[in-house]
Amino acid sequence: MDINTFGVIGAGQMGNGIAQVAAAAGLSVIMSDIKQEFCDNGMATITKNLDRMVKKEKIKDADKTAILGRITTTTDLNDMAKVDFLVEAAVEREDLKFNIFKDLDRICPEHVILSTNTSSIPIGRIAAQTSRPDKVIGMHFMNPVPVMKLVEVIRSIATSDETFDITWKLSEKFGKTPAEASDYPGFIANRILLPMINEAVFCLYQGVGKAEDIDTVMRLGMNHPMGPLALADLIGLNLPPAIMETCTTDLKFQMALPVAQKICGSGLAGKKKDRQRADLSKSVLCILCLCVVSVSWFQVRSCPPDQVVLRSG
């Protein structure tokens, strides 16, 4: 199956990054969002990324022009009838994704593969909203998409070998390294990442170390490029609760910090949502992390912080 036109649902940080790498790989791209303002912001981000690459002499100015010329935007989901393959990169909300896939199943021709960039929602559950579960697959890019090399490819029990093979090869065409994950909540990346962030927050909460020291230990001691608290801010403080809500429901993890939604509701969603937040002091930033990273991968007994007992859950 030839992939010539590539669709992206969502022009936010993940969506515009996916659109950029697809266009850089030579595909015609249609990027959709619910408002033209969002599409314009997405294109502005892509332009800024490409300008940076030109300045660093990674691409030529002609390459930038060609990449931008391959991307069109739309607020009409019906335009996805023109694509051969698409990635949904909307907000991490199950009900929203279900409705999008129902619409896409109606709009897109039967041969079109419908993939999702979900961070945690089981692919089989999304596929069940369509009449083509064999052509539904997870294609989980990492943030920031143009920089990070990994794509998790997640097949449900209904995903066909053909769909999997096409998605795998497309990931490689984008210059990414694909890794296969089974269809469990959180897949591989977030099933491992979120417990680390969560335990870093508990270390801060219990006074095991200051925020700077926790991040320093993980950077210099474990050779991580950044500490878990800084990483939580980078990926967006609204995302861990959304991911872990799925894990709480499906894997019976216990909610650790229920004030998360209040903080996100106040607009303090971290660097991903508002880069000016990066100017906040580290201590304030990590208090936000403490409030937002919301689910423990351990059962925590109700007792004073200095007497918390952890046991495997």
Residue 205 CB-half CA count within 13 A:
20
> Domain end: 154, 182, 210, which one?
182
Residue 8 CB-half CA count within 13 A:
30
In this predicted structure, the answer to whether residue 287 has a pLDDT above a threshold of 90 is no
More confident: 229 or 272: 229
Look at residue 158 and tell me if it is in a domain: yes
Do 151 and 265 belong to one domain? no
Q: Name every residue whose Cβ is closer than 8 Å to that of residue 242 and which is 6 or more positions away in sequence.
A: 91, 92, 93, 119, 120
In this predicted structure, the answer to whether residue 174 has a pLDDT above a threshold of 90 is yes
Supply the pLDDT for residue 306: 42
Pick the range with the lowest mean pLDDT from 79-83, 221-225, 272-276, 292-296. Answer: 292-296
> Domain end: 182, 202, 222, which one?
182
- pTM, two decimals, is 0.79
Do 159 and 61 belong to one domain? yes
Do 155 and 299 belong to one domain? no
Do 39 and 111 belong to one domain? yes
C-alpha 24/C-alpha 1 separation (Å) is 20
In this predicted structure, the answer to whether residue 298 has a pLDDT above a threshold of 80 is no
Look at residue 132 and tell me if it is in a domain: yes
Q: In total, how many domains does the chain have?
A: 2
Pairing of β 71-74 and β 28-32:
parallel
Do 174 and 199 belong to one domain? no
Q: How confident is the model at residue 197 (pLDDT cuts 50, 70, 90)?
A: confident
Please list the active-site residues.
119, 140, 152, 190
pLDDT tens profile 35-54: 999 999 999 999 999 999 99
Q: How confident is the model at residue 1 (pLDDT cuts 50, 70, 90)?
A: confident
More confident: 236 or 49: 49
Look at residue 313 and tell me if it is in a domain: no
Do 138 and 282 belong to one domain? no
Do 43 and 169 belong to one domain? yes
Backbone region of residue 188 per phi and psi (left: phi > 0; alpha: psi in -120 to 50; beta: other values): alpha
**Residue-range definition of the domain harbouring residue 55:** 5-182
C-alpha 129/C-alpha 88 separation (Å) is 14
In this predicted structure, the answer to whether residue 268 has a pLDDT above a threshold of 80 is no
Do 300 and 223 belong to one domain? yes
